[in-house]
Structure 1
Amino acid sequence: MDAIYFMQPTKQNIDIFMSNMSGKRPLYKKAYIFFSSPIQKEWVAHIRKDSSVLARVGALSEMNLEYFAIDSQGFVTDHDKALEELFTENAEGSMNYNSCINTMATRIATVFASMKEFPRVHYRVARTIDASTLTTLRDLVPTKLAASVWNCLARYKSIIPEFPQTETCELLIVDRSIDQIAPVIHEWTYDAMCHDLLSMDGNKYVQEVPNTSGSGTEKKEVLLEDHDPIWFELRDVHVADANLRLHEKMRDFISKNKAAQLHQARTNGELSTKELQKMVQALPQYTDQIDKLSLHVEIAEKLFDIIKEEHLKDVGQLEQDLVFGDAGSKEVIDFFRTHQDISRENKLRLLMIYAAINPEKIQSEKGAKLMQLAGLSADDMIAVNNMRCICAHETKKSSKGGFPLKFEIRKKKRGIRKERIGEESTWTLSRFYPILEDLIEKLSKGELPKDEYHCMSDPSSSFRGISSSMSARTSPAHQPAQSMRSRRTGGTWARPRNSDDGYSSDSVLKHASSDMRKLGRRLFIFVVGGATRSELRAVHKLSSKLKREIILGSSSLDDPPKFITKLKMMSNEELSLDDLQI
């Protein structure tokens, strides 16, 4: 029997392979080897040196596939512990820190190797480093990762056939500190609500359907992915809009199908999820169409039941009021006092948003009273306090001779951002947008702030269309500029949306013009510490708006419950920096 090996090019894996295939009684007659990233020449020579093994090798190839695709515009490097390994105390000296950076860089580089792209690498810069100024290790993560990615790509130029020798696209590397609110706020799109509220296992949803005998139900696992046309259409729209579209699809199907009309008449005009499932049995020729429709009707019903039971419209309103500067401590206190039945998790998420906007208050007596009023557990309080570990904070001058680092807090609210003119939504709770959306637009225009974002090298002479303001490394940053959020006016919960805000499924690249790339090079954005559904939505939206293919990468894709769990696992002690080397 022949075998296919798909493996990382490590010493341990090569040794296991050699053991399997050497000698007089190998495990397999032939072995076809595919490496997930470029293999070092000495390991190839090691395989060739053993003639008994070499004769049994049917193929040896580098696939450059050390990443997992989320969808057609997103990927992850499968570093679920990135927050814990890169943003906690003593991370610099640990083997986990360096290993995480290096493996993450290798996996990012394989994305470009597989797509035959050579990026110009931008990164969010660390704070000023000199004899009298301190910075934190977490500030250095984008810098170190950018350098490691650049080193991998420089090597690929000489070892991968037909790999570009000049820049063909752009890569921006940032970390979770750019936006601490996006991972915890309720995102009201269909995709985000499903993953936030339904306890899904990845993209897997468990549906109850009638069993073959018709006497009961059985569980059926389905995947909510792009191959499902209804999911693809609804994933980035407001959940209320999704609900309206589902009912329109149901009415449209019935109006065009006489058998469905008869079935509806027998049920007195009612078509619940169970009735739709029964219709599948009555109309087998429409099984696939009704199956998908009944699936999403069931999901929408569950979502709206949870939204109602957990008072999520009230929670979401206060969340967005906090984010846009329309609410503060008083409103949070009043909310906790008048909404005793709000779940502890939703109170925790409110306080985490409050902490991201008002770090100086959450660490004061007022913050302690808020947490007590919310009835948070000790673990919950750890998550709130650990928001500091991913906050983009200021540096502080050191005292005599030593390097003690204390957390320096900005006085200004960081959660308030400028209104995005011309993008008002007709749906309430649609005001929120991730900071990454602004950064992608600035990257596209060549307008990234040069004191906050550096580039690994000057662009080559063949690289066109880039602003000269981004062309070289500049002086280190002192204090980041403030982005602002403010209220988006208008909107109703269930009024059909007719604004051209780009959030419909039509904004996805798959439905865009086939010559989109002629209008601009690919943009890659990588977020260390976990990306969010709102950021993936922004990528879908901006691909259409900017007429450029945009790809989002991250160490992981985190829904709010998962992100909060990760925060609880982090140390809340401050980091120190000594003998820094980049």
Structure 2
Amino acid sequence: MSYSDSDSSSSYGGGEYKNFKQISRERLLHEMLRSAKTGSSKSTWKVLIMDKLTVKIMSYSCKMADITQEGVSLVEDIHKRRQPLPSMDAIYFIQPTKENVIMFLSDMSGRSPLYKKAFVFFSSPISRELVSHIKKDATVLPRIGALREMNLEYFAIDSQGFVTDNERALEELFCDEENTRKGDACLNVMATRIATVFASLREFPFVRYRAAKSLDAMTMTTFRDLIPTKLAAGVWNHLVKYKQTIENFPQTETCELLILDRSVDQIAPIIHEWTYDAICRDLLNMEGNKYVHEVPSKTGGPPEKKEVLLEEHDSYLA
């Protein structure tokens, strides 16, 4: 699927410096939400529909006030029952899964669609099979205002860092009983999401990794030995496709990506112990960057729950 960049000159390139989180924010607000204001769409306000993952992607980069300013009056979950709003346009920011595509088609097909027009943005590349599935529904096609790949499937946790939300990666890649199918699926997700980081940065890296080395000809190479190789190959395959599908994407290498096993990256565990962020995540039961704790009630009643956000502007990080 082709990719179009509606604001590449202001978001990327040699102009004003923008950190990683700012780039992610501008892509979501300008390239996605603002682009739905153009063309044949005349509606002032729109509905933003997301799934569980894309809600977190959006929340890490944007505030609700940012979204509202771009013309979104309502945010909905694609997997929950929703009220029909046939006079309003909808912006879908979803993963390109079969389940999400079926839900989208259900919303927009037939004589009484939920929304007037749909602007669909996928967080990562969509398969040809799913695109063909969308094209088969003749009632839906005239109601689609945009069908694009955003290639933005990571959490921008701060100005320089991101995570790919693979909480079960350690278990699926390094458990006692090797499961190649689960391991390959996990690596594929990781590779896809890491590649979308470079899609946002408009960088085409040299991908460097440590290849598996057998001690001798009789030693069997295990799945664990091949993890860096498989991950590097997955990232590279996506980057090569970006050269053909993303406008203004570099055609030659511009930076380097190092894929290191923890046994090679020996400094990481030491640096980990020096950071306030790491201490909080080790010692507290956190949900993302949110920590809930109890404080004594001022009225003498039961303790009150208070939410604390761990962010870059937290005074303890200074």
- Fold shared by both chains (TM-score > 0.5): yes
Q: Which amino acid aligns with 2:316?
A: W
Report what 2:167 is aligned to: 80
Q: Which amino acid aligns with 1:36?
A: S
Q: Which amino acid aligns with 2:254?
A: T
Paired-residue identity, %:
67
1:377-526 paired onto structure 2 within 5 Å: none
User: 1:84 is paired with a residue of what secondary structure?
Assistant: helix
C-alpha distance in 1 between matches for 2:203 and 2:269: 30
Contact kept? 1:87, 1:137, Cα under 8 Å: no
Report what 1:172 is aligned to: 258
Is 1:155 paired with 2:241? yes
1:538-557 paired onto structure 2 within 5 Å: none
C-alpha distance in 2 between matches for 1:6 and 1:186: 34
How far did residue 60 of structure 1 move? 1.9
Question: CA 1:129 to 1:161, structure 2 compared with 1: closer, same or farther past 3 Å?
Answer: farther
C-alpha distance in 2 between matches for 1:62 and 1:206: 36
Of structures 1 and 2, the one scoring higher in RCO (CA 8 A, sep 6+) is 1
Question: CA 1:30 to 1:165, structure 2 compared with 1: closer, same or farther past 3 Å?
Answer: same
> Relative to total residues, which structure has the larger strand share, 1 or 2?
2
C-alpha distance in 1 between matches for 2:272 and 2:237: 38
Aligned alpha-carbon RMSD (Å):
2.9
Contact kept? 2:180, 2:223, Cα under 8 Å: no
Question: CA 1:203 to 1:172, structure 2 compared with 1: closer, same or farther past 3 Å?
Answer: same
C-alpha distance in 2 between matches for 1:70 and 1:175: 22
Is 1:32 paired with 2:119? yes
What is the number of equivalent residue pairs in this alignment?
Answer: 230
Cα deviation, 1:86-141, whole Å, max 9, x if unaligned, reads 123553x6320111111111111111112211111011221148743433321210
Contact kept? 1:206, 1:219, Cα under 8 Å: yes
Unaligned runs of 5+ in 1: 234-582
How far did residue 145 of structure 1 move? 0.6
Q: Which amino acid aligns with 2:94?
A: M
C-alpha distance in 1 between matches for 2:108 and 2:272: 53
Contact kept? 1:129, 1:135, Cα under 8 Å: no
C-alpha distance in 2 between matches for 1:97 and 1:84: 9
C-alpha distance in 2 between matches for 1:110 and 1:34: 14
How far did residue 13 of structure 1 move? 2.7
Question: CA 1:123 to 1:22, structure 2 compared with 1: closer, same or farther past 3 Å?
Answer: same
Report what 2:316 is aligned to: 231
1:71-220 paired onto structure 2 within 5 Å: 71-89=158-176, 91=178, 94-128=180-214, 131-178=217-264, 183=269, 187-206=273-292, 218-220=304-306
Is 1:59 paired with 2:154? no
Question: CA 1:185 to 1:43, structure 2 compared with 1: closer, same or farther past 3 Å?
Answer: closer
Unaligned runs of 5+ in 2: 1-84
C-alpha distance in 1 between matches for 2:145 and 2:111: 17
> Relative to total residues, which structure has the larger helix share, 1 or 2?
1
Question: CA 1:132 to 1:77, structure 2 compared with 1: closer, same or farther past 3 Å?
Answer: same
Cα deviation, 1:4-57, whole Å, max 9, x if unaligned, reads 322222334323322332122223332221100123455434423433101221
Contact kept? 1:224, 1:231, Cα under 8 Å: no
C-alpha distance in 2 between matches for 1:200 and 1:24: 46
Q: Which amino acid aligns with 1:161?
A: E
C-alpha distance in 1 between matches for 2:312 and 2:166: 24
C-alpha distance in 2 between matches for 1:52 and 1:141: 45
Contact kept? 1:35, 1:61, Cα under 8 Å: yes
How far did residue 209 of structure 1 move? 5.5
Contact kept? 2:294, 2:306, Cα under 8 Å: yes
C-alpha distance in 2 between matches for 1:11 and 1:203: 30
Question: CA 1:84 to 1:193, structure 2 compared with 1: closer, same or farther past 3 Å?
Answer: closer
User: 1:100 is paired with a residue of what secondary structure?
Assistant: helix
Q: Which amino acid aligns with 2:144?
A: V
C-alpha distance in 1 between matches for 2:270 and 2:317: 24
Cα deviation, 1:172-208, whole Å, max 9, x if unaligned, reads 0112333579559982443333333344333223355
Report what 1:348 is aligned to: none
C-alpha distance in 2 between matches for 1:97 and 1:231: 38
C-alpha distance in 1 between matches for 2:135 and 2:284: 52
* Greater Rg over alpha carbons, structure: 1
Q: Which amino acid aligns with 1:20?
A: D
Contact kept? 2:276, 2:317, Cα under 8 Å: no
Structure 1 stretch displaced more, 117-126 or 131-140: 131-140
C-alpha distance in 1 between matches for 2:102 and 2:287: 35
Cα deviation, 1:400-444, whole Å, max 9, x if unaligned, reads xxxxxxxxxxxxxxxxxxxxxxxxxxxxxxxxxxxxxxxxxxxxx
TM-score, scaled to structure 2: 0.63
